[in-house]
A and B are shown apart, each in its own frame.
Chain A
Amino acid sequence: MNKNKITPFELTTLTFFLFNSFLFTTGIQRLAKQNNTDSVLSILIGFLLLFLFFQLIKGIYQFHQKQDILGKIEILFPKTKLLIFFLLIIILFTHLIYSIHQISTFINYYILKEAKLIIITVTLLLTILYICKKGIISIVKLSEICFYLYLFLFIITILGTLKYLNLENIKPLLTSTIEDNTKSSLLYFSSLIIPFFLIAMLPKEELSQKKKYEQAITKGIRYSSLICFLELLITISILGIQLTKIYLYPEMIVYKKISFLNILEHLETTLAFSQILNSLFIIVFSLWSLHEIIKKVIPLKKEKENISYSLLILLLIFAGTLLTIPHRYFLMENIIILILLVLIRLKIHYSQTYPADSN
């Protein structure tokens, strides 16, 4: 097997982490606030929406398989490509600021209470920079290793929380209005559009088994939705809907309860690593993608990549510690990407139906 190619399972694990970023970017609390106990169902409806959307935009991945999405944009929108790239740079940059701020404040609040926010941000970004610099193959391979680690931590969480589960707390179900159900399902769906774009940064050609490209992505989405569903179910059934709604990261309160035979206690910091993994890959992949877009706008020599990455990291350190991007802007960014992906899909459809016109 070619070591420079991505295996379908590696793509599945990367997709899994990108879509699992929901637990961090939007989080269980926002979903529970929107739809109370019915938020458990919102994830199921949201998953169906994600699946349908993937079927809709599948054509993008199949079009010019050797090209990543940037190459496809260049082919489809030769006149407006620069404008689109600028838009993408702004979106990914703000998305990075949002994600970095979220993860740094999480670490600061729950794990490193004494450390200054900037120290956490710098350390985190240096790690991310190191991963990015290793290139996409290393990122994907790392995601596979982290997937096993994530599963291990998740199994520990499930085993540790079994005795606290109280399914009475999930009741009553099916009590929300159609409006609330729609809103919360859309909240789940609209938080996960950027991952679709990020996956499209990987050309189909990079995969060792091209035929399994779409299948690998759907598997990743399925696993991630399952994990989100279980996390929400466990959290609400242990804490109850009222407590789930008041904590920003109710999962941490659940982790605090875990102990094995009264010997293994205080595991929350270790288990919180799974939360960090949820956000790490979206940040790494967004930064790598952002750098790729910048390279399209400003052609850079291989030797200058260090400088461009360093400048990006410096900008992110300052912006990440100084700016706070509200969640609604994060959702707006996702919706803009949604519109862009739909436009690309329509243009592909148009160019395939009327090849002469598109030229």
Chain B
Amino acid sequence: MIKKIITLVFILLLTTSCNAYTELSDLGITSMLGLDYQNEKFIVYTTIIADRDNQENKDKYKTYHATGKSLEEAFENIYIQNSKKIYLSHMNLLVITENIIDQQLTTMIKHFLTNSEYRNNFQIVTIKNNLEDLFNQEITAEEINKLILINQKESGTTRSIDFESFLKDILIDRNTILPTIKLEDTLSLEGFTLIKDHQLYGSLSNEEAILYNFLSNKIEKTSFQGITVYENETIINSKKNNIEIMINSTIDDQSEIYQKELKKALLNLLTTYQQKQYDLLKLEHKIYQNNYSYYKKNKDILSKLEFHIEIHPTIKNNYLEEVITDE
């Protein structure tokens, strides 16, 4: 009996976290993380949810920043100012600068892959400004995420990209895109940032971003040359080097102009990036998945691609107009 009690107590001591534990109040739950790379040093900004019990300090969030020769060192340096353990599992947003994309993208990816605390569902955006501007204005992750989400639904100028999608895309052919934000008087969107071969490649303006979203079937509602698009569905099929793009849209008016102008704009975007050897829509990978024999026999598939675009607009029923006409 004594032996059993001793064993039980021993197991309880080991399993009930009497060893190596962290109090919940000692966790600095990180909501937003910012990464930059300047003068061969990493700069890390974190927004941590502040203590609720501290009545004197009514700030909801606290911001810390530190630098280091490696990302790990920069994180360690944050502890000099902060008594809480940085807890990254609830992170909502990662903001990265063009500098870090251009110079240390692989190091950054490696950091996120090796740290199991991160969940891969946090959003990722690029910022045109310095991180200091953003974090000093106390703009929260929720605000930025909402800005992207609302625009994805209402204007079609952007779309949210989480870390996993970003990683998946970059692992396919080392190219990917990220939504871009800009801070002037207010926070605004600036299309997409393009990444090629793990480096900064260029950007898409808000207008080009709408076209890109058309092609990626990510348009929920948008406006194209004054024509409102209420619904859209894009289907891309590949037959050898023929890329057939079919767009079914519900618009408010001027279907002929919409058909003609949208086709022209989309073809222009596709051929421009085809000439630049940038596979905007990962079409080579699509051919690899759907037509492997053609993919294996041919080299430099991107430049051989021929685009065929069909646009089928449908005018949205306007019941009110009918009522007025009847009267």
Which residues does A use to contact B, with CB under 8 Å? 109-110, 112-116, 119, 122-123, 126-127, 168, 171-172, 175, 239-240, 242-243, 246-247, 253, 256-257, 266
Q: Write out the residue numbers on chain B whose beta carbons fall within 8 Å of the beta carbon of A114.
A: 20-22
Determine if B168 is an interface residue (Cβ-Cβ < 8 Å): yes
B288 touches A172 (CB 8 A): yes
Shortest C-beta distance, B282 to chain A (Å), equals: 11
Bound Cα distance A240, B169 (Å): 10
- Among the 9-residue stretches B36-44, B116-124, B181-189, the one with 4 or more Cβ atoms under 8 Å from chain A is B116-124
Interface contact B120-A256, CB-CB below 8 Å: yes
At the interface with chain A, which of B7-15, B72-80, B130-138, B304-312?
Answer: B7-15
Q: How far is the CA of A126 from the CA of B113 in the complex (A)?
A: 32
Shortest Cβ distance from B26 into chain A, in angstroms?
A: 11
The answer to whether residues A172 and B117 also contact, given A116-B19, A123-B11 and a CB cut-off of 8 A, is no
Q: Which residues of A contact B113 (CB under 8 A)?
A: 246-247
CB of A256 within 8 A of CB of B20, answer no
What separation, in Å, do the CA atoms of A122 and B15 have in the docked complex?
A: 10
Task: Determine if A175 and B292 form an interchain contact, defined as CB atoms under 8 angstroms apart.
Answer: yes
Closest to A170 in B: B289
A116-B19, A172-B292, A256-B121 as given contacts; A243 in contact with B168, CB under 8 Å? yes
Chain A residues with CB under 8 Å of B261's CB are none
The answer to whether A246 touches B14 (Cβ under 8 A) is: no
Closest to A253 in B: B120
Q: Among residues 13 to 70 in chain B, which have CB atoms less than 8 Å away from a CB atom of chain A?
A: 14-15, 19-22
A119→B19 contact, CB < 8 A: yes
**Extra pairs beyond A122-B14, A126-B11 (6, CB < 8 Å):** A116-B19, A119-B14, A172-B292, A240-B171, A242-B172, A253-B164
Query: Could you tell me how many residues of chain B have their Cβ less than 8 Å away from some Cβ of chain A?
Result: 25
What are 9 of the A-B contact pairs (CB < 8 Å)?
A: A116-B20, A119-B20, A123-B11, A171-B290, A172-B292, A240-B168, A243-B167, A243-B171, A246-B113
For the complex, what is the distance from the CA of A113 to the CA of B116, rounded to whole Å? 9
Q: How far is the CA of A112 from the CA of B7 in the complex (A)?
A: 22
Q: How far is the CB of A46 from chain B (nearest CB, A)?
A: 23
Identity of the chain B residue whose Cβ is nearest the Cβ of A240 in the assembled complex: B168
A115 to B20, CA, bound (A): 5
Please give me the residue from chain A that is nearest to B89 by CB atom: A266
As a 0/1 sequence over residues 81 to 93 of chain B, the CB contacts with chain A under 8 angstroms (1 = contact) are: 0000000010000
**B contact residues around A257 at 8 Å (CB):** 120-121, 164
Closest chain-A Cβ to B96's Cβ sits at a distance in Å of 20
A109 and B19 within 8 A (CB) = no
List chain B residues, Cβ under 8 A from A109: 116
Q: Which of B10, B119, B172, B289 contacts A168 (CB 8 A)?
A: B289
Query: Which residues of the other chain, A, contact B21 by a CB distance below 8 angstroms?
Result: 114
Give the chain A neighbours of B164 by CB distance below 8 A: 239, 243, 253, 257
Please give, as numbers and ranges, the residues of chain B lying within 8 Å of A246 by CB-CB distance.
113, 171
Query: CB distance A123 to B14 under 8 Å?
Result: yes
Q: Chain B nearest CB: distance from A142 CB in Å?
A: 17
Taking CB atoms, residues of chain B closer than 8 Å to A123 are 11, 14-15
Nearest CB on A from B287, distance (A) = 10
